[in-house]
Amino acid sequence: MSKTHWKKLNNPDYLGAYALTPGEDLVITIKNAGEEKFTGNSGKVETGLLVHFAENGIKPMICNTTNAKSITKVAGSPYVEDWQGVKIALYSAEVSAFGETVDALRVRPYPPKTDEYICAECGLIIEDKDGLTARQIAEGARAKHGKFLCLEHAKEATAAKEAEAKKSDVLGGNEDEDN
């Protein structure tokens, strides 16, 4: 049976540890990060680092120093402008804060393990593109062409197949007329 954390029912504006079930990692992609004003837990307007995510339905995260250091390790850069497109894994951890043990949202300090597909033509990692996931692109190419291909090479392979089919039709049609 799935359980609902009471904080989920309050619809806070920002992502928190309550959004994850214990032991769960949430792998998401940073859309952008920067200094913004937000309303803190005390109701006071504060300015700080906010991280927004590319996936629909994921609220922004107020990024503390601990999480910023972890993102820096994953992104390979301390500059928030370089974080765009970086995949991170979030998890919930018990921490000591203000004399209590509380659940806190944390960023794993290493890149998440994800399914990576390598294009058989160019050798590059196949990435999400044109509304398709890397998996959809790779598996679609494998079904159609027998190998993993990035979107560009899949389109080229499809065009080449279609050109070959037209050529065969023309040649086949001429040969039938000669017989």
As a whole number of angstroms, the distance between CA 58 and CA 13 comes to: 10
Q: What is the mean pLDDT of each run of 10 residues along the chain (179 residues)?
A: 61 82 87 92 88 92 96 93 90 89 92 79 87 87 88 94 83 53
As a whole number of angstroms, the distance between CA 131 and CA 13 comes to: 27
| pLDDT tens profile 141-155 | 988 988 889 999 999
Verdict on whether the full-model pTM lies above 0.75: no
Q: According to the model, what pLDDT value does residue 1 have?
A: 64
As a whole number of angstroms, the distance between CA 148 and CA 127 comes to: 12
Q: Please give the structure tokens belonging to residue 86.
A: 């970086």
